[in-house]
Amino acid sequence: MVMQPVLEISAADGFALWPVGEQESYGYLALNRELTPAEVGTAIRQIADCNDFEPEAEHGPCPTDPLGTFLHGLLSIDQVRKLVARAQQDVQDFLSPAGTWAEQHLPAQAAAAAVTALARALDLAPAR
């Protein structure tokens, strides 16, 4: 089993502020330390692009120069933290229905062991 954070990536048509990777019109980019510089550029472009909708009240008016306008989206970085925290919570929440499933489909002793192993594999505390 492999789990890793990914970004939903859209095509970077006309993007010329820095090098980005070749992208199809839609796809996913796994985030890890082995990304190429162009892939890192793609990830930063996508994060900024997705976050470029914050109200002026929180981050001030949007700059008018192309780079400033684009990087303005990186200022809603709190949103990225919230998304990561939500993903962590979703994985933690998965343990509850997984435990119910194990109780219904496995012998009692095996169910408890399966849930404990699943929690360990996901690096989580067992559901209570």
Note whether 83 and 71 are same-domain residues.
no
68 is in which domain, residue-wise?
1-76
Mean pLDDT of all residues in 11-18: 79
List pLDDT tens digits, range 39-77: 888 888 887 777 655 555 555 666 677 777 666 666 566
In sequence order, what are the residues at sequence separation of 6 or more whose Cβ sits closer than 8 angstroms to the Cβ of residue 46?
Answer: 7, 8, 9, 10, 29
Same-domain status, 35 and 63? yes
Asked if residue 86 and residue 65 are part of one domain, the reply reads no
Does some domain include residue 112? yes
* Domain co-membership, 41 together with 64: yes
- Give residue for tokens 């914050």: 54
Record the pTM.
0.55
Q: Are residues 65 and 111 in the same domain?
A: no
> Are residues 30 and 8 part of one domain?
yes
